């Protein structure tokens, strides 16, 4: 049937299923006039409409039960978007800060490695920094370094605690026992020296001072453990 607003004379084509009561309250979406369906000027049969048929866009007519299904669809869409945004933010926070995802936010930067000579032999010296791009501090960072020869055969590996900073010049002025003593002394230092804060970097030094055969050609360094505080 066709509903005509008695105030501005705008016509709306409605399905019969939307009319739930003979005296249903309606509001015109053009002028805002509220009127009662059932009065003789408000309803016309389809074959009596002089103007071309009009489709009723969602939300043009309100009933006593509330707005039409069009208004509900808009509210549902808005709620769905808000939920999606919240889930996206929570997912990003989890990816940055929790196990299995947050470790990807730790990276090794500025790494260099070369063979040098100490006061009592040879040593392979590696230095670099660990960068923490997460929002959580780390209690400590344990690294594993591996040394390879020209045939990619392993020449040894070492586990070290990030935070010890040595220079090539210092290593060259030390004997192998002195290097090991320096590493042990660092491990016994204050635990605050091991903490890697968010958005900060921590230097590390790795020295292969044990005797090894062959010529070092390549090396790798990877993060093995970095628990959150």
User: pLDDT, tens digit, for every residue of 139-149?
Assistant: 999 999 999 99
- For tokens 């800060």, name the residue: 97
Closest by Cα among 207, 213, 146 to 176: 207
Six token digits for residue 213: 């055969």
Alpha-carbon span 65 to 67, nearest angstrom: 7
Alpha-carbon span 32 to 26, nearest angstrom: 9
CATH 2.60.40 boundaries in the chain: 103-225
Element containing residue 84 per DSSP (H, E): helix 69-97
Query: Strands 121-132, 200-208: parallel, antiparallel or unpaired by DSSP?
Result: antiparallel
What was the pLDDT predicted at 39?
57
Residue 53: pLDDT band with limits 50, 70, 90:
very low
Six token digits for residue 17: 């299923």
As a whole number, mean pLDDT of residues 59-66 equals 42
| Greater model confidence, 214 or 152 | 152
Q: Right CATH number for 103-225 from 1.20.120, 1.10.1070, 1.10.260, 2.60.40?
A: 2.60.40
What was the pLDDT predicted at 182?
92
The pTM for the full model equals 0.55
Beta strands in the chain (DSSP E): 2-4, 11-13, 25-27, 34-36, 43-44, 62-63, 66-67, 106-118, 121-132, 142-148, 154-161, 200-208, 218-225
Residue 207: pLDDT band with limits 50, 70, 90:
very high
- What's 52's DSSP letter? P
Please say whether the beta carbons of 126 and 219 come within 8 A. yes
């Amino acid at each position: 049937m066709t509903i005509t607003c008695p105030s501005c004379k705008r016509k709306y084509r409605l399905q019969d299923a939307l009319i739930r009561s003979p005296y249903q309250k309606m509001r015109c979406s053009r002028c805002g006039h509220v009127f009662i369906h059932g009065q003789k000027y408000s309803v016309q049969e389809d074959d009596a409409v002089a103007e071309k048929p009009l489709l009723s866009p969602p939300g043009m007519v309100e009933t006593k039960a509330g707005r039409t299904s069009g208004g509900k669809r808009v509210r549902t869409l808005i709620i769905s978007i808000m939920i999606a945004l919240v889930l996206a933010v929570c997912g990003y926070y989890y990816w940055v800060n929790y196990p299995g995802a947050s470790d990807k936010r730790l990276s090794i930067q500025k790494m260099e490695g070369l063979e040098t000579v100490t006061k009592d032999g040879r040593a392979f010296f590696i230095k670099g920094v660990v960068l923490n791009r997460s929002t959580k501090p780390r209690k400590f960072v344990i690294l594993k370094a591996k040394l390879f020869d020209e045939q990619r055969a392993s020449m040894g590996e070492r586990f070290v605690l990030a935070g010890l900073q040595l220079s090539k010049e210092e290593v060259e002025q030390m004997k192998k026992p002195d290097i090991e003593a320096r590493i042990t002394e660092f491990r016994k230092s204050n635990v605050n020296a091991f903490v890697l804060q968010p958005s900060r970097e921590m230097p590390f030094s790795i020295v292969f001072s044990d005797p090894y055969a062959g010529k070092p050609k390549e090396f790798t360094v990877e993060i093995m453990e970095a628990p959150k505080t």
